[in-house]
Amino acid sequence: MIDLLLQLKKSNVDFSFTFIGIGGYESFIKSQVIDYGLQNLVLFKGSVDRSDLQKILLEQDIYVSCSEFEGHSVAQCEAMACGCVPVVFDVSGSEDDVFNGFNGYVIEIGDLDSMVDAIKFLNSNRDILKCYGKRCIEIIQDRNKKENTLVTVQKEFMERYQIKQA
C-alpha cells in the first residue's frame, strides 16, 4: 500500500487516503507514512463503530485493496454499497461484483502501475467515477435482494445445529 501511495504522489495525483479498521500491519504502515512524509495525505480512522462506517464510506469515492490473498471482501461490498468505485487486485472473488471498465477495475496482483493508472483515470474523469459509483450501488443492492449462497449456507447451518437466530 505504501508503494502505491508513493507512486500516486510521484505521479502528481491529487489524493487523500483513508485507512479504515485496524490490522496486524497498522503500526508498520503508520511508521512508513511518517518515514515517507505522507502524513498530509493519509488519515487513519482505526476501528470504526458500525454506526459511523456508512458516513465515512459516503465521503470516499474510490475503494482500493492491494491484498494479494483476501477473497470476496465484505469491506469491498460495504464500500461499493456506498458508491465507492473499487480498484482491487485480482484475488478470488474480486470479479464477483467488479466488472473492469464498467464499475471499477480488477488489476493483476502486484501491478501497481496499472493500479495507479486506473486511479489517475478515475480521478481525472469525475463523471465516469460518478457513473461507476452508481453502478456499484445498483449491483450490490441487486445482489443482496435475493438470498445468496452465504445466506443459504448460514440458514442450513443454523437449522442443522438447531441454532435460533438472536
Look over the chain and give the mean of its residue pLDDT values, rounded to a whole number: 89
CATH second-level architecture of 2-160?
3-Layer(aba) Sandwich (3.40)
DSSP state string for 19-81: EES--TTHHHHHHHHHHTT-TTTEEEEES--HHHHHHHHHT-SEEEE--SS--S-HHHHHHHH
Query: What pLDDT, in 10s, does the model give residues 90-143?
Result: 998 888 999 999 999 999 999 999 999 999 999 999 999 999 999 999 999 888
User: Given a cut of 60, is residue 148 above it in pLDDT?
Assistant: no
Look up the pTM and report it: 0.84
The residue among 51, 147, 149 whose CA lies nearest residue 93 is 149
* pLDDT tens track for 66-103: 988 877 788 899 999 999 999 999 998 888 999 999 99
pLDDT, one tens digit per residue, over 9-27 is: 999 999 999 999 878 888 9
